[in-house]
A and B are shown apart, each in its own frame.
Chain A
């Protein structure tokens, strides 16, 4: 089961889960994904050890999509 999680003050919240082929769940996940991007979050997926990639569309085949806030110099 793939998950869309958002890092927040609770640790993280699972916003959506989907299985490949479950069109309804994927559509709901994509809607939640877009909503979070519109709210200013960035979506990241791991692409192998030590690498990650920012995504702007829900990657349906990813196991875990993490939403993070922007970073800035302190």
Chain B
């Protein structure tokens, strides 16, 4: 197996594997709980002490809801489409990307702008400047921010990431920055509507019940 050469540029990061990723995911869960529970406890305490304080308690509950949503929004942004090149280069790049994937993935990309790719860590949805990783079971999504250097048509940006992912999945996840890890449904709510079917497909193909 080849090692992604770009990992040399992030030599201080330990190479990611399933166990390390699970630890990072647990860290995100703890962080989310840490951001949420104090607000909920404060709301409950207020209501217990003075029921008429319910408007303030409601604000605290909204805070508890909003903070993880904002993080999920940051995660969903990694697959936001970037600017497009002229029609000719875009068409040429799309042809090459189409040659790299099967019919099903090509059709999903045409509808959603994301390429579905199965890996050892889960099912990936590769976009132009980032990727979503739906973990086994389909409940958790990790959002990775990673991009190719230089000016490229959008399909070429996706093809760059797809090829790097296929070369070395663990290396790809090592190089990429984890922008969010959490409930897939939270990410789905923040995705552009046209991209949601891709996340649904990834979750379904990854054992979501």
Contact = CB atoms under 8 A, between A and B. Distances in A.
Do the two shown chains form a genuine complex with each other? yes
Instruction: Give the secondary structure class of A's interface.
Output: strand
Interface residues of B, number: 47
Interface in B138-174: 145-153, 155-156, 159-161, 163-164, 166-167, 172
B145 A69 contact: no
Contacts of A42: 5
Contact of B177 (A8, A9, A73): A73
B167 A44 contact: yes
Interface residues of A, number: 25
Given A10-B92, A11-B153, A71 B6 contact: yes
Contacts, number: 106
A21 interface: no
Interface in A10-50: 10-12, 42, 44, 46, 49-50
B52 interface: no
B76 to A, nearest CB: 14
